[in-house]
Structure 1
């Protein structure tokens, strides 16, 4: 992974803002980090020896705050500390890398203005913050608005080429509007995530649910096929945001993307596996997915929806199966963080 980071344009970001993991990821060649509500909650829960006294201190300093406000302040604090680790990289790369992702509150998913306003707030936490907004119809509106207001966006809850392209176009509109008013956008660093592993997860669920007879090996290639297609479209249209591969499930979701001017964001455990493997780095971004796999995948209606540029309308994004599933998971993580704060402040008798 270090060799790929040094010898190709493919950037490595860590899929966590856990400080100990991030430090090691930087040693592996990592130049950024992503996070989401599930990861933030898991990190706080994993390191309660650190976060319990900090949450107690936040509550003591803000006696009128509720559980959600306290929990989200802990997430802000975690993000600022992780961003500081990446700041030298941010300066070296002139804003293109060295960024720490902070996700907007999933409870705002129906309110474009609330998403954009919170994105602006998070943007102000540190120079090198990139803010996650979901690729729904409401989210696309917020993405353009926040970009126009100077926020570097990391598009999330994204599982299809149509979502990625619509989000990339929204970012481009925001950048153009900003430039038209004389603002410099050269240090902005937007990325558009495809949650490639969750694409695979969803299609495996659909195949089992609908009792489809499909070569199971093809299901390991669905996310790779989608992100390669999105990358081709971004390059052809000259979109300035980079595609980002996240939600890893297999090593193909890194090895098949090497050489692309994009970002790979594996969990730290995958970085350890890859670095210990002795794998010879080979550029594969321009190698097409084998036709047999595409033929098998095209037998699945949801794959055709997610693979074709016009496979879904923007109105259909929020009802797409993996979108609904992931939004629910993120909302549940918010509730879990509330409960964790509650247990710290009001222990059960």
Structure 2
């Protein structure tokens, strides 16, 4: 019996006398008819996540010009998914100082959202936005991973109960190539759609697809990769920055995503903190002192020197030791992310070693763990 296999696009075109072509999926306008979607736009920095969201905004403006017959297809109750509202984090205010207040800004431009934009601190602020805008049917929540975990459930409930659509241009992986945080993990769990985006690797010698966000500092004109224990959230603008306080970001492929210090973090730094928790603080205090004042004596320096000796990128990896505040970052990582250093121990070490209080307080506040480090005056 004859077998009738499904013909391919290539076979079909050949049967019509056309040359063989690779046919790609149509790049369509956004669909506002399906209620309750929770769409993740994921990719590294520079992959066009917010620009994609801006296209959704423009598509909505076109769709709003259609007749009431269309409105019936894009609405659930009083919400109309053609009504789009843009949400941005309050801590993100420093990124786009050169744009209008109502701008949805991205690398190649911006669109103005008028009154349909808000900056929020957390999920409670977002609930107020939902309450104040009962006819909005689509929310674009930029960098949703920066918010508290509760946001995932606020979003899910609103989408199921009211048919509201949510779009999240957000990082799922952080600069360490780990899941960004628990909020990002929950966003993956509740998502109905995921649209992955890539970019060119931004290394000068590469044209591969980049899936990762690379963080680095520019010190004395040199590329200095962020160490593994660099703070998870560092607020800053999109312009190129120099110095030790504010990093730069780039999209990078596997080969050019440099991440020194991971082995050191788990092999040396965390065990020293665990010992400090048991009352043996000397090793940790000595290491923090060396990181601040005697880098070549530190376990970090010894680890990197041995790990990357002879590596083609040895110089780049060792440049990671050039920025300031490495001691401060190591201590904040142990306190803020690992909970291996108590607040009392943190304050004590900061004051005994005269670490940079202003820098640490600012970074800890941005990472939702504010501490007053002047408490050391009480010791």
What's the TM-score, normalizing by structure 2?
A: 0.30
Bigger Rg, structure 1 or 2: 2
Higher normalized strand content (fraction of residues): 2
What's the TM-score, normalizing by structure 1?
A: 0.32
Q: RCO (CA 8 Å, sep 6+): is it higher in 1 or 2? A: 1
Higher normalized helix content (fraction of residues): 1
